[in-house]
Amino acid sequence: METKTSILDIEKVRSDFPILSREVNGKPLVYLDNGASSQKPKQVIDVITRYYEHKNSNIHRGIHTLSQEATDAYEKARKTVQSFTNAQHEHEVIFTSGTTDSINLVASSFGKKHIQKGDEILISTMEHHSNIVPWQMICEEKGAALKVVPINDKGEFLMEGFEQLLSEKTKLVAVTHVSNTLGTINPVKEIIEKAHQKGALVLIDGAQAVPHTKVDVQELDCDFYVFSGHKMFGPTGVGILYGKENILNDIPPYKGGGDMIKTVTFEKTTYNCLPHKLEAGTPNIIGGIGLAAAIDYMNAIGIDRIEAYEHELLTYATEQIKQIEGVRIIGEAAQKASVLSFVVEGTHPSDIGMIIDKLGIAIRTGHHCTEPLMNRLEIPGTARASFAFYNTFEEIDIFITALKRAIKMLL
Domain's final residue, options 283, 299, 315: 299
Has residue 4 been placed in a domain? no
311-368: pLDDT as tens digits: 999 999 999 999 999 999 999 999 999 999 999 999 999 999 999 999 999 999 999 9
- How far apart are the C-alpha atoms of 33 and 339, rounded to whole Å? 9
User: Minimum mean pLDDT among 133-142, 186-195, 247-256: which range?
Assistant: 247-256
Domain's final residue, options 233, 268, 299: 299
- How far apart are the C-alpha atoms of 124 and 313, rounded to whole Å? 27
92-142: pLDDT as tens digits: 999 999 999 999 999 999 999 999 999 999 999 999 999 999 999 999 999
Has residue 404 been placed in a domain? yes
Name residue 65's amino acid.
Answer: T
Q: What interhelical angle do 285-301 and 42-54 show, nearest 10? A: 150
Q: For residues 250 and 273, state if they share a domain.
A: yes
368-381: pLDDT as tens digits: 999 999 999 999 99
CATH code where residue 342 lies: 3.90.1150.10
Is 369 catalytic? The answer is yes
What pLDDT band is residue 3 in, cutting at 50, 70 and 90? very low
- Among 112, 114, 93, smallest CA distance to 200 is for 114
Average confidence score pLDDT of the chain: 94
> Can you give the pLDDT at residue 259?
66
Domain's final residue, options 274, 299, 324: 299
What pLDDT band is residue 2 in, cutting at 50, 70 and 90? very low
- Report yes or no: 3 and 27 within 8 Å, Cβ to Cβ: no
Q: Domain range spanning residue 352? A: 10-31+303-410
Is 153's pLDDT higher than 50? yes
Q: For residues 287 and 248, state if they share a domain.
A: yes
Is 270's pLDDT higher than 70? no
- Report yes or no: 11 and 384 within 8 Å, Cβ to Cβ: no
Has residue 38 been placed in a domain? no
Name residue 184's amino acid.
Answer: T
Q: For residues 203 and 68, state if they share a domain.
A: yes
DSSP assignment of 300-357 equals HH-HHHHHHHHHHHHHHHHHHHTTSTTEEEE---SSB-SEEEEEETTS-HHHHHHHHH
DSSP state, 182? T
> Can you give the pLDDT at residue 253?
87
Q: For residues 187 and 143, state if they share a domain.
A: yes
Has residue 39 been placed in a domain? no
CATH code where residue 60 lies: 3.40.640.10
- How far apart are the C-alpha atoms of 2 and 372, rounded to whole Å? 40
| Residue 7 neighbours by CB under 8 Å, 6+ apart | 305, 308, 309, 312
Q: For residues 161 and 97, state if they share a domain.
A: yes
- Looking at the structure of the chain, the number of domains it has is 2
Which one from 139, 222, 273, 369 is the annotated catalytic residue?
A: 369
275-309: pLDDT as tens digits: 989 998 899 999 999 999 999 999 999 999 999 99
Has residue 93 been placed in a domain? yes
